[in-house]
Amino acid sequence: MKECGLILNKTDMKRTLARLASEVAERRGDDPSLVIIGVQRRGADLADRLKLLLDEQLGRRVPLGKLDINLYRDDWTTLNIQPSINCTEIPFDIEGTSILLVDDVLYSGRTTRAALEAILDYGRPTRVELLVLIDRGNRELPIQAEYVGKKVTTSPDEHVNVLVTERDDEDKVCLVEA
């Protein structure tokens, strides 16, 4: 197993998600059209947690969806492995909503581009704001997050691994050599 340079431990992740939820509540708490969509897989897990925090802070239930972007990727025909297809679950009408798009790591911007394309297949929201746990820079597309848990400077030969209890039996974020 590759050496893990710890970026966030379990306590740091919990604290960071609470701060991000507070920032969203401050900026968008009065918006009744606010919905959350998590990018499958770990972005969807983080979105579940953010929803619980926002529901409590706002005193109402914020609708939650999960989005699989694999068929919208611009590199799926060049991947060495088959993409893992997950399900998309958006149990509400996207038309006119303010979407909080949640993902674990922002890197090149290509996942976010794919997510925006997928969202538009479901309708036209009023706005889409991006929330990421980790922004590791090195963008290939002009995409930025409105809400960032932590910025980490990385090189292309490094990778950020976000582990969540729901899938990995522990919460932590590590920087590893590719």
Residue 78 pLDDT > 90: no
Q: What is the pTM of this model?
A: 0.92
Whether omega for the bond prior to residue 41 falls within 30 degrees of 0, making it cis, is: yes
Q: pLDDT of 36-64, one tens digit each?
A: 999 999 999 999 999 999 999 999 999 99
Question: What CATH fold (topology level) applies to the domain 10-72+86-153?
Answer: Rossmann fold (3.40.50)
Q: pLDDT of 10-40, one tens digit each?
A: 999 999 999 999 999 999 999 999 999 999 9
